[in-house]
Amino acid sequence: MVSTILLAVGLVAGWMVYSYISGLRRNVQIARKTGLPYVVYAVHPHSFPWQLTFWIWLPLIKLLPKAWWEKPMIVLQPDWAYNTNQEYFDWVGSETFILAGPDDITLFTENPDLVTQMCLRREAFPKDIARYGVLTMFGQNVVSTEGAIWRMHRKVTSSSFNEKNAAHTFVEAIGQTKGMLQYYFNGTTENKTSTKTIKSLEHDTMMWALNIIGHVGFGLRLIWPGQKVPDDPKLAKYGALDPPPGYTMTFAESLGGLLHRIITILLVPNVILKILPFHFAREAAAAKENYYRYMKEFLHDKVEQVRRGDREQEGMDIMGQLVRSTYEEKAAKSNTPKLTDDEIISNAFIMTLAGHETTANILHFTLIELANNPASQRRLQKDVDALFGDSDPSTWDYEKNVNPLLASQIGACINETMRMMPPVTAIPKIVSPTSDQAITYEGRRIVLPAGLSINMVAPAIHRNPRWWPTKPSERTGRPTDLDEWIPERWYRATAKSSNGSDAAEDGEDYGGFQGSDTSASLYRPVRGSFVPFSDGPRSCLGRRIAVVELIAALGVIFQKYSVELAVDEWATDEEVKGMSAEERRALYAKAREKSRATVGKASAIITLKFNGSGQYVPVRLVKRGSERFVGDQELV
C-alpha cells in the first residue's frame, strides 16, 4: 500500500519534472528560432502559479545579493511596465524580446513599427481573447470576442458612436462637471473661495464618468449627492442615492462593488461567495446580484419599448441598439446570428466599464498633474479664457469649440496624461493560431510561430527615447525628460520622417471615430509610439467620446477654478496664512514630492489607478484669484 502511494507520487513528480524541462527546452528553441533576443525564466510571469504566489517569492528572492536579481526580477513584478519604464528593455538591450518559461512564452515589444504592424493586421495578429476572461462574467461581448462573432458585436455596438452623440456627450459632460463642482462646494459655488481638502478625487472622477456614460449611453439620470432625484420612476431607480425597494445596493454601488471585486467574482461562483464567512465575499456576491437584476429589468423595459415601436430616446441608447438588433421584428425574423439576453447585458456592462474607468483615470491624473505643475495650469487657464471668456458653459457650442479645444493646452494635457499613465497598460495580441506570421523588424524579416503571445507595453512604448523627441531633464538631471509630465512637449513640430504606414490592412470601416484629433501644427508622434487607444480595427470605439468628456470637464473647471495640492499634513490653514513666499514654496515642494511618489505607485487592476489601497493625492479647488500657491504670483 505504502509502496503504491510512493510509486504514484514518484511518477507524478517525475512527470512534473519531465514536463517542466521539456516545456522549457521547447520554448527556448521556439524563441531562438525567431532570431529575436530572448531571456529564459524558470517561471513565466504570466503563469497562473506565479500570479497566485509571487508575493511569497518576491521577498525571499530579495534576500539574495541584489546584483543577482535586481534587473532580471523587474519583469516578474506586477506593473513593472508602469513602475520601471525603460529599465527592463534597457537591460535586455532590445525594444523587442521574447521571454521563455516552462509553461508560457511571450513576445514583449516597445517598438512602434512592430506595434503598428500587429495592430493593423487583425487576422494575422488577433486579440488574445483568452486573457479577457474577467470581462465575460455575464457573457461574450465586443471586447472579448474575435473573428466573425466580434464583427457581429462590433456592428451592433458601433452605430451609436457618431458626432451627433459626441455633441450630446459634450453637453452632458459640462452638466456633470458643474454637478461635481456644486458637490465639492456643498451645493453652491457662490461666494466660496475654496473647497475643503478633497481626498476622494479618484472615486469622484469615477462617479463623474459613470454619470456621463449612464446618461449618454443608456439614458439614465445619475446624480450627485445633494441633487434632485428625477421624477420618472423608471429612471429614478438607477439614479437613487438609496437602494430602491427589492435591492440592497444602489445601481452605482452595485457597479462599483462589481468592479472592485471583479477577480473574486470571476473566480468564485456566487453560490459559494454567499456562504463564505467573509464580509468582502458577501459584498461581492451582492454586488453581482444587484447589478444583474438592474440590468435584467433595464433589458426588459427596453424590450417592451422596442415592441411598442417606440424609438424616442436621445443619446446613444446603447441598450436600445443592442435590444433592437435581437428583438425588432425585422431582426427577429431574419436568421442572421443574434445576441442573447446575457450577451446584451454583457455588452452593456462592458460599455459601462470601458466607458468610465479609463476616462475617469485620465481626468483624475490630469487634475493631479496640473496641481503639480502650476505653470502648465496657468497656460491652460489662459487658453480657456481665450476660447470662452466669462461665458456660461451651458452656452458652449460643440462644433465650434471641439477643434480649438483639442489644439489647446487642454488637448496637450490630455495627451500627456495618456502618454504617461495610459489606462490600458498592456495590449495583448497573439500570432494567429492557424499559421506562422512574418513581420519586418529593423529591416529584417522575422517569422513568428503560430499562437505566440504578444504583449505591447504601452507605458514603455510611450517613453521610448528612440522614438520620442526628448532632452535631458531639467528637474532630475536624467538623460531624458520622458518620465516627466510636460504637456508643452506636444507643441513641438513633427519630425518629417515617420516610418509607420498609414493605411489599415483592409481599408474596411469598423465604426468609431475616423477623423483626426488635431490641428496640423501640433506634434504627431511616430505611428505606433502613442497607442493609449490601441490602433487599427480593434482600437477603442469610445475614443472620441472619452476625449470630448475630458475637454469639457477641463474647460468648465479651469474657467473659474484652480487646483492646488492640499498641505494639511504639514501645516494648518492659519499657519499657511502666516507664511512668507519662500516658506510657501518650500511647503508646496514637499507636497509635490509626495504627490509624485503617490502617482508613481499607481497600479493596473483592469485600468491604471490607485487600486483602492488607501492611496490618494489630496487637493483643493480654489476660485481663481484666491489661490494660496499656484496663482499668478509665480510662487511655484
Ligand X SMILES: *[C@@H]1O[C@H](CO)[C@@H](O)[C@H](O)[C@H]1NC(C)=O
User: CB under 8 Å to 312, separation ≥6 — which residues?
Assistant: none
Among the listed residues 63, 66, 67, 188, the single contact to ligand X using CB under 6 A: 188
Residue with the CB atom nearest ligand X in the bound state: 411
Q: Binds 592, which of ligand X, ligand HEM, none (CB < 5 to 8 A, cut-off by type)?
A: none
The string of DSSP codes covering 157-185 is: HHTT-SHHHHHHHHHHHHHHHHHHHHHHT
Shortest Cβ distance from residue 294 to ligand X (Å)? 27
Q: Binds 538, which of ligand HEM, ligand X, none (CB < 5 to 8 A, cut-off by type)?
A: ligand HEM
- Nearer to ligand X among residue 88 and residue 185 (C-beta): 185
Region for residue 603 given its phi and psi (left: phi exceeds 0; alpha: psi -120 to 50; beta: otherwise): beta
The string of DSSP codes covering 403-431 is: HHHHTSHHHHHHHHHHHHS-SS-EEEEE-
End-to-end CA distance of the chain: 78
Among the listed residues 323, 354, 452, 619, the single contact to ligand HEM using CB under 6 A: 354
- Nearer to ligand X among residue 182 and residue 611 (C-beta): 611
- Nearer to ligand X among residue 113 and residue 343 (C-beta): 113
Three-state SS across 305-371? Answer: HHHCCCCCCCCCCHHHHHHHHHHCHHHHHCCCCCCCHHHHHHHHHHHHHHCCHHHHHHHHHHHHHHH
Q: Write the binding mask 127 to 146 for ligand HEM: x where contact by CB under 6 A, - elsewhere.
A: x--------------xx---
The yes or no reply on residue 530 touching ligand X (CB under 6 A) is: yes
- CA dist 596 and 316 (Å) reads 38
Known binding residue 413? Answer is no
What is residue 572's three-state secondary structure?
coil
Q: Binds 546, which of ligand HEM, ligand X, none (CB < 5 to 8 A, cut-off by type)?
A: ligand HEM
Q: Binds 497, which of ligand X, ligand HEM, none (CB < 5 to 8 A, cut-off by type)?
A: ligand X
The yes or no reply on residue 221 touching ligand HEM (CB under 6 A) is: no
Positions in 224-263 near ligand HEM (CB under 6 A): none
Among the listed residues 69, 132, 523, 616, the single contact to ligand X using CB under 6 A: 523
Region for residue 314 given its phi and psi (left: phi exceeds 0; alpha: psi -120 to 50; beta: otherwise): beta
The secondary structure of residue 625, as a DSSP letter, is T
21: Cα within 13 Å, side-chain hemisphere: 5
The yes or no reply on residue 440 touching ligand X (CB under 6 A) is: no
Q: Binds 190, which of ligand X, ligand HEM, none (CB < 5 to 8 A, cut-off by type)?
A: ligand X
Q: Binds 545, which of ligand X, ligand HEM, none (CB < 5 to 8 A, cut-off by type)?
A: ligand HEM
- CA dist 359 and 558 (Å) reads 18
Q: Which of 371, 369, 351 is nearest to 359 (CA)?
A: 351
Q: Which residues pair with 100 in a beta bridge?
A: 40, 105
Q: Which residues pair with 622 in a beta bridge?
A: 194, 562
Q: Binds 580, which of ligand X, ligand HEM, none (CB < 5 to 8 A, cut-off by type)?
A: none
The yes or no reply on residue 546 touching ligand HEM (CB under 6 A) is: yes
- Nearer to ligand HEM among residue 119 and residue 286 (C-beta): 119
229: Cα within 13 Å, side-chain hemisphere: 14
The yes or no reply on residue 524 touching ligand X (CB under 6 A) is: yes
Stretch that binds ligand HEM, among 77-85, 246-254, 386-394, 420-428 (CB under 6 A): 420-428
Q: How many CB atoms lie within 10 A of CB 60?
A: 8
Shortest Cβ distance from residue 404 to ligand X (Å)? 10
Among the listed residues 97, 208, 294, 533, the single contact to ligand HEM using CB under 6 A: 533
**Contact (CB, 8 A) for 475 and 92:** no
Shortest Cβ distance from residue 135 to ligand X (Å)? 19
The residue type at 301: D
The residue type at 343: E
- CA dist 277 and 98 (Å) reads 43
Positions in 335-364 near ligand X (CB under 6 A): none
Positions in 421-480 near ligand HEM (CB under 6 A): 423-424, 427
Among the listed residues 302, 463, 527, 538, the single contact to ligand HEM using CB under 6 A: 538
What is residue 485's three-state secondary structure?
coil
Among the listed residues 105, 252, 457, 541, the single contact to ligand HEM using CB under 6 A: 541
- Nearer to ligand X among residue 95 and residue 253 (C-beta): 95
The residue type at 258: L
Give residues in contact with ligand X (CB under 6 A).
188, 190-191, 406-407, 411-412, 415, 490, 497, 499, 517-518, 522-525, 530, 601, 603, 611, 613, 615
Show binding-site residues.
540
Residues of the shown chain interacting with ligand HEM in the complex, contacts defined by CB under 6 A: 127, 142-143, 154, 213, 351, 354-355, 358-359, 362, 423-424, 427, 532-534, 538, 540-542, 545-546
List binding-site positions for heme: 540
